[in-house]
Structure 1
Amino acid sequence: MNLSSNPTQITARITSQVEFRAGDGPLLEIPEGECQVIIDADSAVLTWIEEDQPMTAAIPKIEFDRFIESGAIVLGES
């Protein structure tokens, strides 16, 4: 674990199905639209507003990278 790494926060957009698992529960979907992403060495934390409530999901970096590669998450403002 690299404790000296600095997480990077960027704006992103969900453009198609992005799912995450909250603990041992079922897969939940992040709705399409703008979100904020904090990227660290081993994970990405996404935050967004859903029904006027702030929501957060942490996903492993490898899954986050797959969402980027597939175009489901687009980094930067659109």
Structure 2
Amino acid sequence: MTQQATICGDVTYTPGDGAPIAIPRGPVEVEHSEDSATLSWTADNNAAGSAAIPRTEFERYVSEGKIALGDKPT
């Protein structure tokens, strides 16, 4: 299921064993699976970005208000 959301706080993902990378603030599409959420966005330079984060981490970001579900931040 694809869902619209907005990044409105500090949200990061960690590729492999690398350092955390910030997901830019603004609109994202979220694709949910059983154990993860994949966030997709377009950066200011029109570059596409995508990151999978554990579902528990996604839910924490939502509960902390860093990800607002729906088209507009609350």
Bin for the TM-score computed over the shorter chain: over 0.9
C-alpha distance in 1 between matches for 2:22 and 2:4: 18
Structure index of larger Rg = 1
TM-score by length of 1: 0.88
Task: Tell me the alpha carbon deviations over residues 18-68 of structure 1, each in whole angstroms, 9 at most, x when there is no partner.
Answer: 011011111000011000000111000000011211100000000000000
Number of equivalent positions? 71
RMSD of the TM alignment (CA)? 0.6
Counterpart selection for 2:59 from 59, 62, 65: 65
Give the CA deviation at 1:12. 0.3
**2:39 paired residue number:** 46
C-alpha distance in 2 between matches for 1:31 and 1:46: 11
Instruction: Give the gaps of 5 or more residues in structure 1.
Output: 1-7
SS at match of 2:17: coil
Bigger share in strand: 1
Instruction: Give the gaps of 5 or more residues in structure 2.
Output: none
**1:3 paired residue number:** none
SS at match of 1:58: strand
TM-score by length of 2: 0.92
C-alpha distance in 2 between matches for 1:9 and 1:66: 19
C-alpha distance in 1 between matches for 2:56 and 2:5: 17
SS at match of 2:71: coil
Structure 1 ranges of 4+ moved more than 4 A:
none
